[in-house]
Amino acid sequence: MPSSLFFRQYDLACLSLYSYLIGDTSTGRAVVVDPQRDISDYVADAAANGLHIERVLETHFHADFLSGHLELAQATGAAISYGDVATPDFPIEPLAHGQRLSLGEVTLEIRHTPGHTPESISIVVYPAPDAEPWAVLTGDALFIGDVGRPDLLTSVGRSADSLARDLYHSLHEQLLTLPDTTLVYPAHGAGSACGKNLSTAASSTIGEQRDTNYALAPMSVDQFVEAVTEGQGVAPLYFAFAADANKRQRDLLDDHEAPTTLTIDDALDLGRAGAVLLDTRAPESFASGHLRGSINVGLDGRFAEYAGDIVRPGQQIVLLGDTGRGTEAKVRLARIGFDAVAGEVPAIENVLAARPDLATAARRLPAADVAAWLAEEPDLQVVDVRHAGETMVGGTIPGARNLPLPQLLDHLDELDPTRPTVVYCAGGYRSSVAASALVAHGFTHVADLIGGYGAWLTHTTTHLQEA
C-alpha cells in the first residue's frame, strides 16, 4: 500500500456490505465511504490512527441498508457528499463528475457511473496527485463477478432497460478505461440482493473483472441489457422504504442504547395492539417452545434482511430472545431503518417455562416425513419460499407453489389457511421465518422442512439408489 495512504475495508457479513475508511497519514484527513448506520468502529479506528473524518461519501442512495451519513456528520462534523445528480432533503456538498478531492498526498476522483441508480458515482483513489490509479470504489456499479441490478427503481418511474443502458456506458466509458492493475472495491459481496452473481472475494482488479465478469464480456448494449436484467431475484420487501429513507432527515441511532426491558404481559398487550412479536432465537430453539403468535427470525443469520420481509416499516416490534442480545437485535434492525422497537423480553425460554400456558411448539419435519406426508395427503399445500433463480438451478419439490419470502405476506390470499401446509427453502432458515409467519396469520396446520431443499434432494437420491 502506498506510504501515506490509510485504507480499511469493513465487512458487514449479515448485509453483505463493504464500507471504507480512507485517509492520508501525512495530514490526518480522512473520509468514510458508504457507512453502515452504527458508526462506532469508524470513529474509533480513525482516532486510533490519528485521522479526522472530514467527509462522508455516498456512492448512491442505498436500498438494502440505512446508511450512517447523518450519524457520522453529527459525531465528527463531517460534510456529506453525493454525486451532483442526488437531491436529498438534508444539506450535502455535491460532487461533480471528474472533481478531485485532496486529502494531502492521497487524492480521490469522482466518476459519475449511473445505472444501478441515476445518481451513482465511483471513487478513484490516487496515492499521490500525479500517480496512476491505485484503486476504485465502485459502489453498486461493478461488483466482483457481477454488476448492480438496474431494476430496483421501476416503482419510481425508471425502467430497468434505460438504467441498464446507462450502466453499460458507465462500465465501458468510466470503469474499464482504468488501468488493469487498478484494485476494485465494491459496496457489496456474495449474498447481496443488489445483484445475482456476486463473488465471495472482497476485492479484485479491473483486469481480472474484464476477463472473468460475465457482464463485461464483449457484447452489444442490447445483449448487455438482456444479460443483466434476466434472472434477478425478488428484492427484499423493505428496499423501497430504505432507499427513500436514505434521502430524508431522520432520527439518529445510538448504537450502544439497549432496548427497554418488557414483561411478558407487556409483550402480549403490544401484540394485541398490532406489534410484531419477533423471536430472535435459532429455529431449533423456537420450534421447541415459543410465545403463541410470535414469528421466528434468528439472529444468527441474515436477520435484518429477512425481518424486513415480514415486518412493515414503522410497525412496532417486540423482541423475544436470549439474554444479552437485545441491543444487537435492535441495532441490526436499525441498519435497515426499522427503529420502532418497543422493547425486549429477555430469556424468553425461562419466561415461557414459568408461563407454559402461553407457549406452543413449531412443527419441523425431516425430508422422509415430508415425502410420506405428500404420499398420504393429496391436499397438502407445499410452499417454496426461495427465489425463482434458486428453483431454476436446482428444481423444486413436485407440486410446490413458489412464493419467495419477500412476496409471501402480500400473497396470503393465494393460499388456503385451512389446508395442511409445508414450507421449505434452501437450508431451513427462511422456512422457519415463513412457517411462523403463516401461523401468526391464522394458518392452522403448518410445518417446515428441516435442512430445506438440500435435505430433500439427499433423501430422494438415497431413496432412488435403495430402490
Residue 117 has which C-alpha cell?
Answer: 441508480
Q: Is residue 259 part of a domain?
A: no
Same domain? For 344 and 417 the reply is no
Per-residue confidence (pLDDT) for residue 112, from 0 to 100 = 98
Same domain? For 120 and 216 the reply is yes
Four-residue CA torsion sign, 447, 451, 453, 457: negative
Same domain? For 147 and 118 the reply is yes
Residue 257 has which C-alpha cell?
Answer: 442504547
Q: Is residue 421 part of a domain?
A: yes
**Percent of the chain having pLDDT more than 90?**
88
Per-residue confidence (pLDDT) for residue 265, from 0 to 100 = 97
- Domain final position from 313, 337, 360: 360
Same domain? For 131 and 39 the reply is yes
Same domain? For 375 and 289 the reply is no
Q: Is residue 255 part of a domain?
A: no
Q: Which residue has the higher pLDDT, 21 or 237?
A: 21
**What's the Cα-to-Cα distance from 292 to each of 296, 325, 326, 441, rounded to whole Å?**
11, 21, 20, 11
* Number of domains comprising the chain: 3
pLDDT at 467 over 70: no
Residue 137 has which C-alpha cell?
Answer: 470504489
Q: Quote the mean pLDDT of the chain.
A: 94
Same domain? For 193 and 223 the reply is yes
Q: Is residue 176 part of a domain?
A: yes
pLDDT at 155 over 70: no
Same domain? For 217 and 74 the reply is yes
Euclidean distance between CA atoms 62 and 55, whole angstroms: 18
Same domain? For 72 and 217 the reply is yes
Q: Is residue 95 part of a domain?
A: yes
Per-residue confidence (pLDDT) for residue 373, from 0 to 100 = 95
Work out the average pLDDT over 226-252.
90
Position of cell 437450508? Answer: 427
Condensed to tens digits (0 to 9), the pLDDT of residues 277-326 reads: 999 999 999 999 999 999 999 999 899 999 999 999 999 999 999 999 99
Condensed to tens digits (0 to 9), the pLDDT of residues 172-225 reads: 999 999 999 999 999 999 888 888 778 899 999 999 999 999 999 999 999 999
Q: Is residue 256 part of a domain?
A: no
Same domain? For 138 and 225 the reply is yes
* CATH for 319: 3.40.250.10
Same domain? For 353 and 369 the reply is no
Per-residue confidence (pLDDT) for residue 466, from 0 to 100 = 59
pLDDT at 154 over 60: no
Listed in sequence order, the DSSP H helices in 148-201 are: 160-170
Work out the average pLDDT over 363-392.
93
Per-residue confidence (pLDDT) for residue 1, from 0 to 100 = 66
Condensed to tens digits (0 to 9), the pLDDT of residues 111-130 reads: 999 999 999 999 999 999 88
Same domain? For 201 and 313 the reply is no
Per-residue confidence (pLDDT) for residue 186, from 0 to 100 = 97
Residue 157: pLDDT band by 50, 70, 90 thresholds?
Answer: low
Q: Is residue 342 part of a domain?
A: yes
Q: Which of 323, 270, 267, 326 is nearest to 291 (CA)?
A: 267
Work out the average pLDDT over 155-184.
91
Residues 259 and 343: beta-carbon distance below 8 Å: yes
Per-residue confidence (pLDDT) for residue 225, from 0 to 100 = 94
- Domain final position from 177, 210, 245: 245
- Domain final position from 334, 360, 386: 360
Per-residue confidence (pLDDT) for residue 129, from 0 to 100 = 85
Same domain? For 377 and 333 the reply is no
* CATH for 154: 3.60.15.10
Q: What residues are paired with 52 via a beta bridge?
A: 29
Per-residue confidence (pLDDT) for residue 242, from 0 to 100 = 95
Whether pTM > 0.85 for this model: the answer is yes
Condensed to tens digits (0 to 9), the pLDDT of residues 77-114 reads: 999 999 999 999 999 999 999 999 999 999 999 999 99
Structural domain boundaries, residue 316 = 264-360
Work out the average pLDDT over 149-171.
85
Q: Is residue 258 part of a domain?
A: no
